[in-house]
Amino acid sequence: MTNHTTEHSTRGAYVNEGEEFNRDTTYIEDRIVADPTASTDGEHQLWAAEAGTYRLVAARACPWANRALIVRRLLGLEDAISVGLPGPTHDARSWTFDLDEGGKDPVLGIERIQDAYFKRFPDYPRGITVPAIVHVESGAVVTNNFPQITEDFAKEWGAFHREGAPDLWPAEQEDEMRQVMKRIYTEINNGVYRCGFAGSQEAYNKAYQRLWDALDWVEERLATRRYLMGDHITEADVRLFTTLVRFDPVYFGHFKCNRQPLTTMPNLWGYARDLFQTPGFGDTVDFQQIKEHYYIVHEDINPTGIVPAGPQLENWLSDHGREALGGSPFNTDAGATAPGPVREGEYVTPGHNPLYPA
């Protein structure tokens, strides 16, 4: 069989016909830290965390970018780091700012995020991905290393956190949390793509089994604890949520992850609704953009480009019952509080989310 490679739109994802899905995980690994001179990270170029210096480019459609939007809002970094929101679809070149007036980002003045990549690396050879952080003055990309971006938001941008910002990386839980997040990433976050972009029936069957083994593990874990690490939200919950919120609208059908919908798994479905109804989570989600991205951009999987009308979304606001397990989203004993209202200009389009009726 001819070894045919098809490029996809999700962080350098690709599939070889007859083979298992692989993901390009080579990113720009520069970091933005509180004090570059005091950092022990000698492997990467370090930039100083300064308010107003950087712009987060994060498409609502993308699960990896959605993480950054959630963490930025939970920590109250809106005044420190502005946000650019590309539209849900793109071509082979990159994400575009087609939702902005004139088709250009109002701060960076560019039509495509690739312009910021090429500003820094004129011959950049890898995927043009979001989230990306751009240095506003130079217009050059700083990093697109999505797991490090949110970890550094929590650990390195503390001087700019809002009063009452939650501790998303509790030190006493970090070792276990990293293990949990690693399994969530390899088996669930990436597992749905492994199913959707499988290059053979054998590869798909293996991917499907791995995904559902992991989802069953999380379903069991959530039977006795309100959140993945216990009584309060952490980064681990952010990382799982962005896959769960896309599961029934996209992954169940489009990626053939169809053993059962999320709504039939009592613990995961209750947990997902609990998070969705928590300020900072559901108010970043645009279901219409999510569906348009996957069903329009993935032409090899959905050649007609038809975007499904369903599923109904009102059930995301139904009672979840997770309070019975104790705990609360924010650790009030440690002074944590919910973020305030969504900032002007950062609302999800009305009708694209049950929190924002048409």
Residues annotated as part of the active site: 62, 193
Helical H runs in the chain? Answer: 63-75, 114-120, 146-155, 174-183, 191-196, 201-221, 235-246, 252-254, 266-276, 287-297
Query: What's the CA gap between 358 and 349, in Å, rounded?
Result: 8
Helix (H) or strand (E) run with residue 80 in it: none
- Give Cα separations from 292 to 60, 87, 271 (angstroms): 11, 10, 25
Query: What's the CA gap between 4 and 80, in Å, rounded?
Result: 45
Query: What's the CA gap between 115 and 109, in Å, rounded?
Result: 10
Query: What's the CA gap between 20 and 199, in Å, rounded?
Result: 6
User: From the DSSP assignment, how many helices (H) and strands (E) are in the chain?
Assistant: 10, 9
Helix (H) or strand (E) run with residue 109 in it: none
Residue among 26, 2, 1 at smallest CA distance from 12? 26
Read off φ and ψ for residue 22, nearest 5 degrees: -130, 155
Peptide bond into 131 cis (omega under 30): yes
Both tokens assigned to 348: 């999800």
Query: What's the CA gap between 93 and 114, in Å, rounded?
Result: 7
> What contacts 303, CB < 8 A, 6 or more positions away?
none
CB-based contacts of 5-9 (< 8 A; 24+ apart in sequence) = 6/300, 7/92, 8/197, 8/298, 8/300, 9/90, 9/293, 9/297, 9/298
> What contacts 48, CB < 8 A, 6 or more positions away?
32, 33, 34, 35, 36
